Structure 1
Amino acid sequence: MSTIIYYFTGTGNSLNCARSIGNLLEDTTLVAMQAAGEETVFPEADSIGLVFPVYAFGLPGAVKRFMKRLSCKNKGKYIFAAATSGGRVAGALVLARRMLRARGLRLSAGYSVVMPTNMILLHETSEEKKKILFDSMEKKVIEIASAVKSHEYHAVETGSMSDRILRTGILYRSASPFVKKLDHLFKADQGCIGCGLCSQLCPAHNIEMKNGIPVWKHQCEMCLSCLNLCPKEAIQYGSMTEGKQRYKNPYVEVKDLMCR
């Protein structure tokens, strides 16, 4: 039985999760959502997986755009989703289910996978907590893979009603139109060596190097790959990140995250 897993990732959590699921399944192909092109996507596999992070208690823009292009000749195709987050899935999987339904597709199973956060603007995760979360992720991955193998249906996992209404229904819907321009606070400090890695990592192709300095073009996903993965920790977000520990998923190589 074949499976194709489409993933979107910034600093590696969702790729790590997608790989871990795929390793427990037979005949699995992993494809980055942004590498799937701009045309309608018609997967031929028996099962389709969608693995993505939760941003602002909802879906990243790139994930929404991908879902709008996803189509299947067999409308009963088994589709599962895993939403990685730092702790609050809120209504992200409900939004995914709704978007698939608009395409005539059914989300057969939806899982919340808690992992260390990369949102260092607001939170940092201790090394001890990271180990606990990765151990927990592996257990959740076994549950997901087992369900996928048997095409088991599973109600989408959600946060509390207040999370769904206040955080996803109000905060996310209010903030999402402005995400692209939130990059106006990114800057390269004096430690920047002009290596261009941030530009190569950006899944939105939002960073251009000009005279050896990164320039953000206001098409941001706020995945924070540029900030977290800069080898000199020279990218800052206003004054919110100076001196803070950067985050990269330890099970993913930087080269695996490069988009060009």
Structure 2
Amino acid sequence: MPVIAMTQEMGSLAKDVSLQLAQTAKLNIMRHEVLEHVAGRMHVPGSLISRLREGKAGLVERLTTDRERVAVYTAQEVFDLAGKGSIVLRGWGATCLLRPVRHVLRVRVTRPFKQRVAWLMDHLGTDDEAFAEAEVQRSDSAHASRMHDQFGVTWGDPLLYDLVLNTDRLSVESCVEQIRQLASRPEFQETAESRAMLADLALNARIRAALKDHESTRDVNINVESKNGKAVLSGIVINPRESTEAARVASTVAGTVNVDNQLRVMVSSRRFASAKT
């Protein structure tokens, strides 16, 4: 059951490649599931999530939207979709989120800047080249910033991908054929180990999302590591109640067999004791 993670780059023809790949290889394709899931969990319009991702959100929107929750909910949806297999995942950081899973094929589809600008001008039906250039640059900056902030990587680094395709040199059909051939190779076949890795990552994401869903644990910043259904919680919390609540919430998540609570309670110094509640 192939899982193919692809980049989302304005004017690169990645969307065309993903649609044709899904059709010819009989794969599902991620459409609006992540957007709808994240917006629904945060009780905000999907258009707000889109503006944040595209770098179009206003100052007030950027300051009042919990971007950490956006990232946590996004990760949960990407891992859940990948776990179903036979799917093409485009954008949403899928190439980075799924990097540890050996059977996931990570593909970047790109194109020279001028060709991407020309594509946008044609797409919008405009002859304003300066406007189109600014839009492509804004989109690229938003992608680069999000990838750096969320994953600590440089957007476009070829080492992040298994395959880089230039649609200025290759047709959409040729790109699809290259991806299909590589996906059929032994290196990208599921194994017990790769399935277990994906399951562990998915459980981590579900636990993090559950912690964000509960008011009592929403602001808790802890580490979560899962293996074979056992979740290990580590880090520092400000009081025993936070520790108890975090373990309780984690234990309710589907797939959690056992919770190893290694959280440490912050020790109050005399100097700041009066500030503690």
Give the TM-score normalised by structure 1: 0.29
